[in-house]
Each structure stands twice: as C-alpha cells, then as structure tokens.
Amino acid sequence: MDLANFLIQLLNSVQYGLLLFMLAAGLTLIFGIMGVVNLAHGSFYMLGAYLAWSLSSMTGSFVLAILGGALLSVVFGLLLERLLFRHFYQRDHLDQVLLTFGLIYIFEETRSILWGDDVHGVKIPELLSASIPLTDNLSYPVYRLFMSGVCVALAIALYLLISKTRLGMKIRAGAFNRDMTEALGINIKLIHTVVFAIGVALATVAGMIASPISSVYPNMGSQVLIMCFVVVVIGGIGSVRGALISALLVGLVDTFGKVLLPQVAGMLVYMLMAAVLLWKPEGLFKQ
C-alpha cells in the first residue's frame, strides 16, 4: 500500500468512525442518563436518509433538506419521548427491548407505506461535488471531508453543551443522581426529553449527511445499529468520550480490515469487541 492509498483509507476510516460516533453518542447518552436500551435507534438513521432524499427532491436544495430534516427529527424525538419512552425508564430492560423492537417494525412499515421499498440515490450538492487530486489517478471527494467536518463540529458542540453550559451541568447531575437532582428543584423530566431529542437528532442528521454516499434503502438502520452496539460496548455504556474513541477504533479496524484481510473483514470488529470484553468487561471508559 503506497502513501496516497494509505491516506485515502485513513480518511475513509476516520469519516466512518465519526459517523458511527454520531449514532453511538445518542445511544450511549440515552442509556447512560435514562437507562433505556433503544433498538430503534438505527431507524432514526434510516429516517434521516429518507428525509434527506424526499426533502431534497421536494425543495431542490440539500442544505434546506438537512435543516428541515433536523428540525423535524427534534419534534419527532420530543413526541416519541413524551408519548412512549418516558413510561419505560423505570421498567425492565426486557420490556424496553420488546418495545423498541416493536417500534422497528412500525417504523419500517410506515417507511414502506410513505416512501416505498425502492433504493434511491441522493445527489451531492454542486458545491461539494469536487474531488481533491492526490496523485495522477487517485483523488479524494470533498463531500467525504465535508461529512467528517460536520461530525467534528457536532461532536465539539456536544462536548461544549455537556461540559460548559448550565443545561449540560443539569444533564450530568441527572445522570449522576436522579432523585437528588430532582429534589434540588430541577425539572428532570424536561432534561430527559431534551436528551432524548438530542439523541434522535444526532442519529437523524448522521443518516441525512450519509445518504449521498450510502444511498437510501430499506432496512438500512439495522446494520448500523449493531455496529453502534459494538461501539458502545467497547467504549463503555454512558461514556460519550469512550464512544468517540471506540468509534474511531472501529472505523480503523473495519476499513483497514477490508483492505488488508478481506476474508475475515466482517468479523474483525467483533473480535476486537471480544478482546476488549476479556480485558475490560465493562468497556474502556466505564463511567
């Protein structure tokens, strides 16, 4: 592998890792703070991709589609939390697994009714459709850099929100001790609703910005969901920092595995997870 090729693979793995982080961050936050297992998290990713496709063909603008889609996803997250998830925070994990599995079916079928079962492509906006030449015949698409940029910006925003703002302080307090936080007069229910909506929005935005590259197809959520589980397990449940590091690690192993060891590429990530479990059963950054 020469330098240019290596660079391309490295950029790809970072981009994939960052995308996984967007999904895993929401999953790990929702679990860490509310104690809910959400199998339907992958459906939000799918929802994002379909929103990007239908809104961009409706408005003719990819940027408008992303902004509109993000707004819709926040509303969707708020409603879902209020109507359903709120009642499951104190229940058994088993009930949560079943509830969210039932939701996967409902979301998939609703998607099928609304948008059909065809595979669609989303056009890369004109401004970002160029490629940066690396050598005579190798180049790197600007859009992938843009994706990584968006993910990094959102990761920084998330970090600032949680560690530097008043709201973030309340979120951390709620995760640490729910009852005490409530006793201090903080509206913990509102905090939960906000955290849930943030998680949904992150996953949806990830689906939207990934759609031009991955294309849009039924069941696209389930595969990504399982990768997210692996990321969260390796990183340690509830740890956003762990999710970031483990997502990048998974991105590297998966991308380079496909190039260097294609025969076992599909299993490498799971072997990584097994190794981490032997070493640290509660993940690298257990809170």
Partner 1 sequence: MSAKAHLEVLPRSLQVVLGLGLIALVAFPFVGTDFYAQMVSRMMILAIFAMSLDLLQGVTGLVSLGHAAFFGLAGYVLAFVTPAGEPVSLWWTLPAAVAASGLAALVIGFFVVRTHGIYFIMVTMAFAQMVFYLFFDNKVLGGSDGIYVNFKPDARFFDLENKRVFYYFTLAVLVLVYAFLRRLLWSPFGRVLAGIRVNEHRMRAMGYGTFGYKLAAFALAGALAGLAGFLWGAQTGYVNPELMGFHMSAHAIMMVILGGMGNFAGAIVGAFAFEYLLHWFKDLPTIGSVNLGKHWQLWMGMFIVLVVLFAPRGLLGVVERIARRKEAVDE
Q: How many residues bind partner 1 (CB under 8 A)?
A: 42
Q: How far apart are CA 56 and CA 34, in angstroms?
A: 34
Listed ranges 88-96, 119-127, 154-162, 164-172: which one lies at the site for partner 1 (CB under 8 A): 88-96
Q: CB nearer to partner 1: give 3 or 83.
A: 83
Single out the residue of 208, 204, 193, 202 nearest to residue 244, CA to CA: 202
Site string for partner 1, 185-224 (x = CB under 8 A): -------------------------------------x--
Alpha helix positions (H), 60-187: 62-83, 93-115, 142-164, 166-176, 178-183
Q: CB nearer to partner 1: give 109 or 133.
A: 109
Single out the residue of 146, 145, 171, 140 nearest to residue 158, CA to CA: 171
Site string for partner 1, 18-47 (x = CB under 8 A): -------------x-----x-x--------
Of 140, 146, 159, 229, the one binding partner 1 (CB under 8 A) is: 229
Of 8, 158, 198, 237, the one binding partner 1 (CB under 8 A) is: 237
Exposed/middle/buried for residue 244 (C-beta within 10 Å: 0-12, 13-18, 19+): buried
Hey, what amino acid is at 111? R
Listed ranges 49-57, 66-74, 86-94, 209-217: which one lies at the site for partner 1 (CB under 8 A): 86-94
90: three-class secondary structure by DSSP: coil
Q: How far apart are CA 82 and CA 85, in angstroms?
A: 7
Of 93, 123, 164, 172, the one binding partner 1 (CB under 8 A) is: 93
